């Protein structure tokens, strides 16, 4: 494992999953690969915690699942974003961006500005 | 929408449990496989790839558990798991389980049994539509007395109120205590109709024609009264009760339209009421029309308050509005007729409320339920103590479970579930036992027809109640040990060797508190029961002022068909006395308006020379109307003057006798003989009577120690239509029943006798409830004592067991055996002393509480000795319970004890 990986911030995994499946239906392992791919392997994701998050999101109705066939012709459970999930993802993403801006603004501030 | 999807997902998860598990397995498996394949593609050998994939993934089971939790099924899961686990542990400890279940079953059985009475008397809905909209209008007697606020209403008031009120749809009137004779004959189709059998006396209720309409009940067959049937000449119609129809007419529908002979006149049967039409215990055997004549509208008729009024509220009218309106009407009557109505008020109650008050069972039931409630509390404390002791033994197990990640809440839930399983088993057992208990109570609740008429049974109310108290018991039993166990400090418990002397100290402190509480409750119950039993035994053994042994009694009601006027009534009495005197074993015979100690009615009076007072401030005394031999027959001593003779008849000057209390209370010890008094006897013109004799006091009522002023009038001077016959027998009074019936038949073959029974039987009929009350309370208190003793025994035995090691050391260091014994006994004594002191403080206000709840009528039931005897007895019992395990402590062999564990 790359030592430069950073640990996921609390509560951000849900958002990343929503982003991952917003690009098209994915099975659990696919979600993991997609996130790693987008993040260019800079995030450390506990594989074991991925599934509880998927189940929770499905339970809340943000994503839906159905069984389908994987690339190598095996049965796999595919998740896709629901309409409610889409709205949820948009508000969450907006919130996150605003938060990131504010935090970044604070961290970049110089003594003169304060 | 989202809530819906969540519920759906939860339902799917719970219902399709195995499918979900399968899918979860498949999904995770696919993940690991796919991961391994990717690794293999990058050149890792296949088996190594699979291994690495598994390691990377982490704990599969934990992930699964978290997935289940995400679906919200772990709660449900946990519950079934807790339940299974509880059943398993309980099965592993059959001794513990049996003790706990039996203890609770006992407590719950008692409560369920007693509650069946609450259900039967207080919770059943009266018959008819919307019984809570049906009301009863009662008079309020200005002279205080037993149920003086449930007095009857006079016919003139009924008629006036019926006209004037704006709050009721209708008001119906009922004269509910008439006795009529039924003679079998003619069209009676039971098959015995042709011969004139023995006439039977029946309880009849004369009701206005709208009576059944007010209740909203329909007859089982036939019809109810039509409006014109309340008029004289049209009133010879009758409605039968289900019981009478079944017993005398073989449930034949053809009885409708037939004729039966009542009070020597023919009546047409028009209907039969269903079996469930009864007002608690008050069940007439038949209903006849109430006929109100011109005489019932005179001012004299205002003194005859014999009607019970039933009404139905108009839609939208509240009980308060109805009350206010009736109070106004009663005030109007008071203003118009001050002579008779002064001070009389009016009360309006809903039908259910009226029935409960009229039966006056609430106080007794409250006392009983409190007693059994305390027994259950004690039982719960014992079971809680057992669970606590076991929890102490399981500290390590719990500590391990907590350290392995079980939440504290989970542990609490686990222990509560165990409590619940025990309580539900106990509840089930208790309910089974209560079936038997209820049968026992029902078999004993038959001392008079009113009580027998109320069916006590194991109904749904009882089942729900048993379930509710089982769950409450579970909470009581389970919560204390559960909370104390969850506070377990994992580290100390895992490290703590069982050798540690401080083991379980906090647990035993909690148990000590509970056992002390048990002792307090048991003592409280014992003192309370003692007080009540003492009172009842005083009543039971009191000198009633007359001799009830060898006394045969019977009731007679002369009908108006044969006995139209006073002289005919007097003739019957004279002839009956002559016939009764012929009976060889009859030492004395008499007739009296009321048997002694059966609570006769009161009469107001004026003593000559004293100022005339308004009606509601006049002096009053209990009124008896008797024949000359009454005092000899009853065994009441004549103290001064003379008894009545045959010459005290219609033509002689009016004479009365009074009792000693009368002289003491109203004549302030002046010479009573020759004093003139005037009784306000209803229906008669006031006349002065001369006091000719003074007799000894008798109790007003057998169930009370009260003595009041009494006045005795001569029956030949004021004949009455309803009275009792008495025979003082030289032999067994029950042996004279046949002779008595024969003698009366000689005078009038068609006149039935009611309640032919010995005086002792009369008293038992009156006070029969007391004996049951007494027996039940005594057994409850005893049970409480036994349970408390078991509780203290269990605690001391447990702590001796825990302290074996410590005791061993003490003895090895030279402690003498008696010293060890004292040490253990001292603990028990301390608990008893504190508990007993608490119980005594709780019991101090009991006499006043009983007075308020059970209406003793100002009787004093202080019994200071009880407050000493009970604690001493309690101490003896608890010391015994302590001594058994203490002796075991004394026998500890130091060598064995030090090697212990």
What is the gyration radius of the CA atoms in chain B, in angstroms? 38
Average pLDDT over residues B123-151: 84
Q: Which residue has the tokens 């028009």?
A: B270
Residues B777 and B368: beta-carbon distance below 8 Å: yes
- Residue A32, both tokens: 């993991």
Neighbours of B41 (CB within 10 A): 9
Return the closest-CA partner of residue B809 out of B716, B727, B889: B889
- Residue B755, both tokens: 């309640």
Average pLDDT over residues B856-877: 80
pLDDT digits (tens, 9 = 90+) for B407-435: 667 777 777 888 888 899 999 999 999 99
Interface test with A, best of B6, B27, B35 (most A CBs within 10 A): B27
Element (H, E) at B779: helix B759-802
pLDDT digits (tens, 9 = 90+) for A20-62: 888 888 888 888 888 888 888 888 788 878 888 888 888 888 8
Residues B792 and B831: beta-carbon distance below 8 Å: yes
pLDDT digits (tens, 9 = 90+) for B204-260: 999 999 999 999 999 999 999 998 898 888 889 999 999 999 988 889 899 999 999
Parallel/antiparallel/unpaired status of strands B200-207 and B286-289: parallel
Q: Report the alpha-carbon distance of residue B175 to residue B208 in Å, rounded.
A: 9
**Out of A48, A55, A58, closest to residue B57 by CB:** A48
* This prediction's pTM: 0.75
Angle at B503 between CA B500 and CA B504, to 5 degrees: 175
Interface test with A, best of B5, B64, B75 (most A CBs within 10 A): B5
Q: Report the alpha-carbon distance of residue B304 to residue B581 in Å, rounded.
A: 34
Q: In the prediction, which pLDDT does B507 show?
A: 60
Q: What is the DSSP string of B660-718?
A: HHHHHHHSTT---TT-EEEE--TTS---EEEEEEEE----SBTTS-----EEEEETTTS
What is the total residue count of chain A?
114
Neighbours of B209 (CB within 10 A): 20
pLDDT digits (tens, 9 = 90+) for B668-684: 878 999 999 998 876 56
Interface test with A, best of B26, B31, B71 (most A CBs within 10 A): B31
Q: In the prediction, which pLDDT does B175 show?
A: 92
Q: Which residue has the tokens 């993802």?
A: A89
Q: In the prediction, which pLDDT does B502 show?
A: 44
Q: Report the alpha-carbon distance of residue B898 to residue B248 in Å, rounded.
A: 83
Q: In the prediction, which pLDDT does B137 show?
A: 94
Q: Report the alpha-carbon distance of residue B356 to residue B61 in Å, rounded.
A: 63
Q: Say whether B217 sits in a helix, a strand or coil.
A: coil
Element (H, E) at B53: helix B46-57
Using a CB-CB cut-off of 8 Å, the residues of chain A touching B56 are: 47
Q: Report the alpha-carbon distance of residue B135 to residue B137 in Å, rounded.
A: 7
- Residue B593, both tokens: 């308006």
Average pLDDT over residues B65-94: 76
B353 has pLDDT over 80 = yes
Using a CB-CB cut-off of 8 Å, the residues of chain B touching A53 are: 70
Alpha helix ranges (H) inside B210-361: 211-215, 242-249, 319-336, 338-341, 351-359
Q: In the prediction, which pLDDT does A2 show?
A: 44
Q: Which residue has the tokens 């509220």?
A: B313
The residue of chain B nearest to residue A44, with distances taken between CA atoms, is: B56
Q: Report the alpha-carbon distance of residue B260 to residue B269 in Å, rounded.
A: 7
Q: In the prediction, which pLDDT does B405 show?
A: 61
Q: In the prediction, which pLDDT does B188 show?
A: 43
Burial pattern B378-412, b for ≥16 Cβ within 10 A else e, equals bbbbbbbbbbbbbbbbbbeebbebbeeeeeeeebb
Contact B30 A76 (CB under 8 A): yes
Q: Report the alpha-carbon distance of residue B64 to residue B22 in Å, rounded.
A: 11
Parallel/antiparallel/unpaired status of strands B308-313 and A26-27: unpaired
**CB contact A64 to B (< 8 Å):** no
Q: Which range is least confidently modeled, B334-343, B455-464, B501-510, B614-623?
A: B501-510
**CB contact B14 to A (< 8 Å):** no
Using a CB-CB cut-off of 8 Å, the residues of chain B touching A59 are: 5-6, 9-10, 70-72
- Residue B393, both tokens: 């033994």
Angle at B727 between CA B726 and CA B728, to 5 degrees: 120
pLDDT digits (tens, 9 = 90+) for B429-461: 999 999 999 999 888 887 777 787 888 888 899
Return the closest-CA partner of residue B714 out of B743, B691, B697: B691
Q: In the prediction, which pLDDT does B487 show?
A: 66
Q: In the prediction, which pLDDT does B191 show?
A: 45
Q: In the prediction, which pLDDT does B860 show?
A: 63
Angle at B829 between CA B824 and CA B832, to 5 degrees: 135
Q: Residue B532 — pLDDT band, cuts 50, 70, 90?
A: confident
CA dihedral A18, A21, A23, A26 (to 10 degrees): 170
B658 has pLDDT over 90 = yes
pLDDT digits (tens, 9 = 90+) for A83-109: 988 998 999 889 889 988 998 888 888
- Residue B205, both tokens: 């209720």
Q: In the prediction, which pLDDT does B187 show?
A: 44
Average pLDDT over residues A54-77: 85
**CB contact A84 to B (< 8 Å):** yes
Burial pattern B833-856, b for ≥16 Cβ within 10 A else e, equals ebbbebbbebbeebbeebeeebeb
Q: Report the alpha-carbon distance of residue B42 to residue B61 in Å, rounded.
A: 28
Alpha helix ranges (H) inside B175-226: 211-215
Return the closest-CA partner of residue B358 out of B450, B455, B277: B450
Q: Say whether B685 sits in a helix, a strand or coil.
A: coil
**CB contact A60 to B (< 8 Å):** yes
């Amino acid at each position: 494992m790359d030592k430069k990986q950073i640990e996921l911030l609390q509560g951000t995994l849900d958002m990343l999953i929503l982003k991952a499946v917003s690009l098209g239906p994915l099975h659990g392992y696919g979600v993991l690969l997609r996130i790693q791919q987008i993040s260019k392997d800079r995030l450390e994701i506990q594989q074991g915690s991925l599934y509880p998050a998927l189940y929770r999101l499905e339970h809340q109705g943000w994503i839906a699942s159905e069984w389908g066939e994987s690339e190598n012709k095996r049965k796999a459970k595919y998740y896709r974003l629901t309409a409610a999930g889409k709205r949820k993802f948009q508000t969450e993403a907006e919130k996150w961006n605003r938060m990131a801006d504010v935090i970044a603004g604070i961290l970049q501030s110089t003594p003169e500005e304060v | 929408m989202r809530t819906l999807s969540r519920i759906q997902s939860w339902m799917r998860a719970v219902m399709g449990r195995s499918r979900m598990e399968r899918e979860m397995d498949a999904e995770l498996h696919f993940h690991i496989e796919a991961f391994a394949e990717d690794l293999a593609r990058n050149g890792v050998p296949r088996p190594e790839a699979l291994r690495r994939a598994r390691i990377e993934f982490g704990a599969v089971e934990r992930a699964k558990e978290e997935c289940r939790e995400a679906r919200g099924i772990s709660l449900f899961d946990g519950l079934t798991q807790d339940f299974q686990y509880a059943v398993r542990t309980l099965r592993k400890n059959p001794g513990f389980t049996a003790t706990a279940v039996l203890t609770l079953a006992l407590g719950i059985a008692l409560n369920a049994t007693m509650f069946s009475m609450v259900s039967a008397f207080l919770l059943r809905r009266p018959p008819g539509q919307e019984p809570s909209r049906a009301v009863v209008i009662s008079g309020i007697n200005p002279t205080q007395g037993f149920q003086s606020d449930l007095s009857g209403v006079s016919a003139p008031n009924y008629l006036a109120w019926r006209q004037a009120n704006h709050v009721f749809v209708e008001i119906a009137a009922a004269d509910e205590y008439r006795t009529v004779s039924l003679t079998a004959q003619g069209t009676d189709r039971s098959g015995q109709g042709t011969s004139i059998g023995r006439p039977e006396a029946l309880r009849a209720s004369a009701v206005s024609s709208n009576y059944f309409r007010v209740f909203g009940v329909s007859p089982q067959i036939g019809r109810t009264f039509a409006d014109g049937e309340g008029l004289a000449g049209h009133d010879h119609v009758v409605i039968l009760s289900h019981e009478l129809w079944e017993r005398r007419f073989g449930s034949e529908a053809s009885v409708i339209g037939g004729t039966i002979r009542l009070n020597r006149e023919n009546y047409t049967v028009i209907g039969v009421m269903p079996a469930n039409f009864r007002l608690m215990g008050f069940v007439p055997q038949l209903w006849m029309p109430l006929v109100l004549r011109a005489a019932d509208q005179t001012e004299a008729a205002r003194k005859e308050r014999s009607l019970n009024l039933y009404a139905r509220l108009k839609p939208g009218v509240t009980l308060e509005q109805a009350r206010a309106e009736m109070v106004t009407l009663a005030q109007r009557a008071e203003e118009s007729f001050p002579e008779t109505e002064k001070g009389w008020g009016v009360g309006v109650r809903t039908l259910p409320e009226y029935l409960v008050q009229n039966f006056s069972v609430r106080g007794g039931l409250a006392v009983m339920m409190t007693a059994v409630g305390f027994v259950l509390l004690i039982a719960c404390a014992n079971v809680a103590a057992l669970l606590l002791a076991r929890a102490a033994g399981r500290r390590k197990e719990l500590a391990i479970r907590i350290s392995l990640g079980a939440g504290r809440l989970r542990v609490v839930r686990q222990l509560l579930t165990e409590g619940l399983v025990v309580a539900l088993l106990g509840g089930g057992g208790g309910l089974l036992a209560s079936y038997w208990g209820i049968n026992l109570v029902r078999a004993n609740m038959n001392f008079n027809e009113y009580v027998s008429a109320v069916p006590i049974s194991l109904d749904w109310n009882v089942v729900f109640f048993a379930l509710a108290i089982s769950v409450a018991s579970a909470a009581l039993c389970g919560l204390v040990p559960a909370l104390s166990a969850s506070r377990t400090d994992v580290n100390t418990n895992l490290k703590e060797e069982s050798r540690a002397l401080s083991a379980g100290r906090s647990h035993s402190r909690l148990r000590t508190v509970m056992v002390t509480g048990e002792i307090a409750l048991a003592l409280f119950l014992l003192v309370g029961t003692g007080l009540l039993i003492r009172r009842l035994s005083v009543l039971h053994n009191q000198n009633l002022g007359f001799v009830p042994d060898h006394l045969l009694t019977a009731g007679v009601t002369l009908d108006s068909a044969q006995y139209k006027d006073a002289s005919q009534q007097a003739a019957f009495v004279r002839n009956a006395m002559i016939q009764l005197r012929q009976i060889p074993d009859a030492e004395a015979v008499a007739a009296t308006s009321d048997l002694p100690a059966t609570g006769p009615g009161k009469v107001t009076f004026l003593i000559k020379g004293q100022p005339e007072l308004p009606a509601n401030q006049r002096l009053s005394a209990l009124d008896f109307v008797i024949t000359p031999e009454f005092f000899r027959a009853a065994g009441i001593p004549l103290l001064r003057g003379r008894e009545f003779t045959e010459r005290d008849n219609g033509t002689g000057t009016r004479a009365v006798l009074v009792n000693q209390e009368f002289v003491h209370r109203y004549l302030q010890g002046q010479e009573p003989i020759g004093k003139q008094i005037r009784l306000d006897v209803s229906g008669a013109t006031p006349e002065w009577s001369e006091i000719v004799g003074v007799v000894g006091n008798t109790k007003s009522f057998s169930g009370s120690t009260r003595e009041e002023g009494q006045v005795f009038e001569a029956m030949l001077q004021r004949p009455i239509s309803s009275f009792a016959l008495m025979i003082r027998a030289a032999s067994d009074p029950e042996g004279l029943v046949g002779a008595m019936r024969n003698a009366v038949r000689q005078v009038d073959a068609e006149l039935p006798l009611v309640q032919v029974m010995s005086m002792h039987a009369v008293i038992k009929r009156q006070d029969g409830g007391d004996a049951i009350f007494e027996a039940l309370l005594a057994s409850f208190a005893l049970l409480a004592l036994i349970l408390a003793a078991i509780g203290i025994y269990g605690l001391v035995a447990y702590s001796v067991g825990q302290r074996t090691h410590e005791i061993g050391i003490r003895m090895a260091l030279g402690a003498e055996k008696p010293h060890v014994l004292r040490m253990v006994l001292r603990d028990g004594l301390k608990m008893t002393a504190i508990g007993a002191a608490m119980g005594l403080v709780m019991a101090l206000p009991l006499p006043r509480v009983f007075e308020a709840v059970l209406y003793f009528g100002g009787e004093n039931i202080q019994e200071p000795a009880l407050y000493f005897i009970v604690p001493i007895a309690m101490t003896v019992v608890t010391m015994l319970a302590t001594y058994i395990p203490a002796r075991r402590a004394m026998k500890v062999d130091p060598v064995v004890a030090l090697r212990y564990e």
